[in-house]
């Protein structure tokens, strides 16, 4: 393949129909983003390009992959940081080339360049999409987990960090020691109170190295919380072919996504920020009501669909909601069990939000695989489903559909669907969880074995008899197969 046939800065002149605006000034790097995955490239990077078009500024992005794999770095840098977004909606496909990404690094190969950027005062924001497990937190305390191999290594070798807390502490220490102002740390992960959670992990790590540094971070560094939303599946060959067909050049790393997107941000940026509001982001004083609504309405039902589908044999989310009983179950879960737990602004119509979510799930063009959503359940279940269950129990209300979702996760951890098809368990606690699930022969035994995993289940919730009884009922129903259980729970009043 020749350079002329590859997406690159030199090919932009022929792609005016596929850029947001032909008017473009190449920005200097002002944002370093840790975790340069598909979601960031379809979300924050796009918002940032639109913000720079509305209000010019040097907010170019350096993306960093933390996985030790240089393939993504090399693919993006061969294209001068360019990539396309393949937006798939009911009305067809739209392909847009994004230019905000200026550089891509791979840890640990580009460590010197990364820390040079993090020390540069022109970098005013460090953002993250590293998933819940990337924060390396103790699930009981929220502090950095000193038993985590990466955290232990970074504490022993703080000048060569590999974890998020270690990298941020080293970079902030360099800023403090040089007398430079700090950057803002912006979490864009699906994690409850993500800014506060990241602050606690970073400060607790710093406290073990240098209490004065921890105090400086606590007083000088902003960690605004955010709520992010856009369905962004993994890239397939069909996405690459769609991008090439539209652009006439080859893009190795296009990003598929749905048309919908949302970003709610606490407006605390002492060093400045792009004009994200000009791109449709909501800048607010407190993101919590939006965050909880999204975690419980969208993320909880996504996980429910994923685990029931992995048992029943539905491959994608659109396949799952195309099954009428499962769609009815999700509709009733949101209406009867989830929405009543939410305290949102009067302008937030929860039932309209429910209907919009179901419409998004039904989009057949996305091919959002249930197996992708089913990953990392030990990290996702507490904020998505268990918090809602706790709120329902505190109010003396039923939890039957939420209990079915939880029991489906338990059965999913055995690694096989109802028809015997095997699936992999991708989870930080995979070994412990699968051993507990496989070793239990009865519904009661399965429930008790899983409730004993205190990294997932808070003691008060695990000891709640109403919770246990609902889980046992659901686990017993799932013995007859997920499809039968779905049909029965869809009809519960």
Query: Which domains are delineated in the chain?
Result: 3-284 (3.40.50.720), 288-490 (1.10.1040.10)
Q: What is the dihedral of CA 288, 293, 294, 297, to 10 degrees?
A: 160
Q: Please report the pLDDT score of residue 4 as a whole number.
A: 53
Q: Please report the pLDDT score of residue 33 as a whole number.
A: 98
Q: What is the mean pLDDT of each run of 10 residues along the chain (493 residues)?
A: 75 95 96 97 98 98 94 97 95 96 97 98 98 92 96 97 98 98 96 94 98 98 96 94 97 96 97 98 94 94 98 97 98 98 92 96 91 96 96 97 98 98 96 94 96 95 98 98 98 88
Q: Please report the pLDDT score of residue 59 as a whole number.
A: 98
pTM: 0.84
- 10 Å CB burial of residue 260 (0-12, 13-18, 19+) is middle
Which residues have C-beta within 8 Å of that of residue 358, sequence separation ≥ 6? 321, 327, 330, 331
Q: Please report the pLDDT score of residue 191 as a whole number.
A: 85
* Strands 60-65 and 101-106, sheet pairing: parallel
Q: Please report the pLDDT score of residue 204 as a whole number.
A: 98
Cα distance between residue 201 and residue 320, in whole Å: 37
Q: Between vectors from CA 361 to CA 90 and to CA 383, what angle results, nearest 5°? A: 145
Q: How many CB atoms lie within 10 A of CB 290?
A: 22
């Amino acid at each position: 393949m020749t350079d002329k046939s590859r997406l690159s800065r030199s090919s932009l002149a022929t792609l005016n129909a596929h850029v947001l605006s032909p008017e473009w000034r190449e920005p200097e790097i002002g944002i370093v983003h840790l975790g340069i995955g598909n979601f960031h490239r379809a979300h924050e990077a796009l918002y940032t390009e639109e913000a720079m078009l509305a209000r010019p500024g040097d907010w170019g992005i350096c993306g960093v992959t933390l996985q030790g794999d240089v393939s993504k770095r090399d693919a993006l840098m061969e294209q001068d940081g360019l990539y396309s977004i393949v937006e798939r909606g009911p009305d067809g496909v739209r392909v847009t080339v994004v230019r905000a990404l200026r550089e891509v690094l791979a840890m640990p190969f580009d460590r010197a360049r990364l820390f040079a950027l993090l020390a540069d005062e022109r970098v005013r924001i460090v953002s993250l999409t590293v998933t819940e497990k990337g924060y390396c937190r103790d699930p009981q305390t929220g502090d950095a987990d000193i038993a985590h191999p990466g955290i232990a290594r970074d504490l022993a070798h703080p000048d060569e960090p590999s974890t998020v807390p270690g990298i941020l502490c080293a970079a902030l220490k360099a800023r403090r020691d040089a007398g430079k102002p700090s950057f803002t740390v912006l979490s864009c992960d699906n994690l409850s109170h993500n800014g506060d959670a990241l602050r606690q992990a970073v400060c607790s790590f710093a406290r073990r190295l240098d209490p004065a540094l921890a105090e400086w971070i606590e007083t000088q560094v902003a960690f605004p919380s955010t709520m992010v939303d856009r369905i962004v599946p993994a890239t397939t060959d069909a996405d690459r072919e769609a991008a090439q067909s539209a652009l006439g050049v080859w893009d190795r790393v296009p990003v598929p996504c749905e048309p919908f997107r949302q970003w709610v941000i606490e407006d605390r940026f002492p060093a400045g920020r792009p004009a994200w509001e000009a791109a449709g982001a909501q800048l607010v004083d407190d993101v919590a009501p939006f965050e909880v609504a999204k975690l419980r309405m969208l993320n909880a039902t996504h996980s429910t669909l994923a685990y029931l589908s992995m048992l029943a044999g539905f491959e994608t989310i659109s396949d799952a909601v195309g099954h009428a009983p499962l769609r009815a179950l999700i509709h009733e879960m949101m209406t009867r069990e989830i929405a009543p737990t939410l305290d949102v602004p009067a302008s937030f119509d929860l039932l309209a939000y429910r209907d919009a979510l179901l419409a998004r799930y039904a989009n057949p063009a996305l091919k959002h695989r249930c197996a992708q959503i089913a990953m990392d359940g030990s990290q996702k279940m507490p904020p998505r489903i268990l918090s809602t269950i706790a709120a329902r129990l505190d109010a003396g209300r039923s939890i039957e559909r939420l209990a079915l979702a939880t029991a489906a996760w338990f059965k999913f951890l055995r690694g096989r669907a109802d028809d015997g098809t095997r699936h992999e368990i991708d989870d930080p606690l995979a070994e412990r969880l699968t051993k507990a699930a496989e070793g239990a022969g009865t519904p009661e035994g399965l429930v008790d074995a899983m409730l004993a995993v205190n990294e997932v289940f808070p003691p008060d919730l695990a000891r709640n008899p109403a919770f246990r009884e609902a889980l046992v009922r659901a686990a017993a129903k799932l013995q007859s197969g997920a499809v039968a259980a779905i049909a029965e729970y869809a009809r519960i009043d």
